[in-house]
Structures are given as C-alpha cells and as structure tokens.
A = this chain, B = another copy of it.
Amino acid sequence: MYRAGIAGATGYTGYELVKLIHRHPSLELGWITSESNAGKTMADVHAAPWEYPLIPIDEAMQRADEVDVVFLCLPHAASMTPVRAFAETGVRVIDLSADFRLQDAETYTRWYGVEHSVPDLLPEFAYGLCEVNREKIRGANKIAVPGCYPTSINLALWPLAKAGWLQERVIVDAKSGVSGAGRKAKLVYSFVEAHDNFSPYNVGYRHRHIAEMEQVLNEAAPGETRYRFTFSPHLLPVNRGMLSTIYISVTDGVREADIRDLYARTYAGEPFIHLLPPGQFATLRHTTHTNTCAISITPVDPGRPDGPDYVVVSSIDNLLKGASGQAMQNFNIAAGIEETAGLL
C-alpha cells in the first residue's frame, strides 16, 4: 500500500485526485493541503463525506516522509518552491502545474511571464504524456503532468508527426468545460454568465499551451519540422470535458487507410485510447468521467485539390486524462503497478 500527499487538494484537480485515491486499490491518502481552507476538512469545502483535515503546505513539507508520492495541484508559478522542497526529501513528485512541462526556461518565461526559479530541476522531470513517453516515466521520481489542451491535441497528432506525415500548419478549434478554469469566484465563470453561453478566448496564437503542443510534436517529428499552430479555445457550458477539432494536411500520397493503420498500430493495446471507426466522430460523451482519449479521423473531401485533408477530433475529460487521471496513470507507471489501477 502506497500513501499519497496532495498539495492544493481543494481545487478541482486536487479534489478529483482525492476521489481517485479513494477508489485506488493500492494507494491511500496521507495528508492534503489547502492554504485558504487550512484547519477545515474536505467535507467542509466539498459536498463529500470525507473528514480529512486540510493542513497548510508548510506543515506538509515537514511531513514528506509520511507519504510515498506528492501530487502538486497548484497554480502555475506556485509549484516551483514546494517542488524543490519535496524533491530534496527524495519523495516522488508528480506536478500538475505548467512549471515543469517545458524543457526550456526561456520559453516558459516568454509564455508565462515569470522567471523560472528552479531551472536546474527542469531536466530531471519526465514529461508525463503516458502513451508517448512511457519508458521515461517508468521509475521516474519527478513527473510533469501535461496540460489538458496539449494532452488532447498531442495524443491526436503524435502518430502522424512521428511518421513525418503531418504538415506543419495545424489549426485547432478547441472547446473546454468550465472546470478547466479552476475553482475560483470570477464573474466570467459564474453560472449565469457561462450557462447558455459559448465563448472564444485567447483566439489565434495566444494561449500558453501552444508552446507545449509544439514542443512535443517538434520532438516527435523527423528532421527540422517546426509545427505552427493556430489555436482557438472556447468555453463550453459543461463542467467537464474537452473536445479539439483539428484541421490538418498530410504528406502527398499518404492515404486514409495508411493513417488508420498507423494509429491502430501505434495505439494497439493502449487501455486509454479509443480510436473511432470511419463515419463516427469523437464526442464529449465518449470520455467524460473516464481517463480515455477518443480520437476520430475524417477525410474532408477526397476529390478536393487543396485545403485541409483531414479533420481529427479528440475528446478527453479535462479533469481526468487532462489532469488528475493522467497524474494517477503516471503514478501507476512510475511505481510499476497496474497502469489502469483506480482508473476504470
């Protein structure tokens, strides 16, 4: 039996991890932290019966030896200091923030607008996109869990990029449930403003997750391929779920059957990848409340001379495969236990 600590347990990803651990056959809860709710219990903050006490993170740092793994569910930039503190104790660290996903501290600063205070730790982190990076995750002691949008998009495009078939221009029209914005009292995320509404944000080439998408696909692709994304996220009136509609072109001569075969081989045996047959499209419903990524591939129109060749649709639950579920999958891989434990 392993024990887990969760830093930032009352946000949506932290709370989701509590629920996953409750269900996990070989992981149990050590301590959980919350700055704003320290002194209360989980049952005071969320509609659940769990009287787990919430402690401040400073106290948790003193109690690193009580747990085998620390999941950090903190806002970006807030993870750096506690990650270093926990890392020094030798405990396994799984960070869900954006702070250790980008290999390059300068790129981090350019997109996130803050200096990276522990750039020396960056090379020590395995990038936790499980289906892509499983070998590096096995036994890893420090793991950066990918962002929700990059998980959704990179799982959908990685086979094509690795094969060298994906053209560099990629247009992504993405849609996310409101929990993706975190648990906060902001008018724009209030019920009356978001319900019966649907709204674009950070349209074009403005969202921070673009750096992570390009990093993964550039690294996968042969040669000097440099992907250039146009990325328009939208806020969906649902609590959870993320759907990315991706417009791509492929190398001349690559046929639809080649692509389907490539995906089938690449993802053969993957427990959390659901490839849809021709004629079906991935929907939110395929993945909400699961750790699955569902992918559909549709040719635009075989007889047309130019424009995008395919529309790839990718669906995940932003709180599970896009955050806490993938964090747990990473733990399972790193700890060498059944990869699906607690995730079915």
Contacts and interface: CB of A to CB of B under 8 A. Distances in A.
Interface of A: 12, 22-23, 25, 47-49, 169, 171, 173, 175, 178-179, 183-187, 189-201, 203-205, 228, 230, 232, 234, 236-239, 241, 243, 245, 247, 274, 281-286, 288-289, 292, 294, 296, 298-301, 304, 306-308, 311, 313, 344
Nearest to A171: B247
A283 B205 contact: no
B230 A247 contact: yes
B187 A47 contact: no
A230 B298 CA distance: 12
A193 B285 contact: yes
B283 A196 contact: no
Contacts of A193: 191, 285
Given A196-B196, A204-B298, A307 B169 contact: yes
Nearest to A313: B200
B304 A171 contact: no
A254 to B, nearest CB: 17
A178 B304 CA distance: 30
A157 to B, nearest CB: 16
19 contacts: A47-B283, A171-B171, A171-B307, A171-B308, A178-B190, A178-B192, A183-B192, A184-B187, A193-B285, A196-B196, A196-B284, A198-B241, A198-B243, A198-B284, A199-B284, A204-B311, A230-B300, A247-B247, A289-B289
A23 B274 contact: no
A296 B232 CA distance: 13
Contacts of A241: 196-198
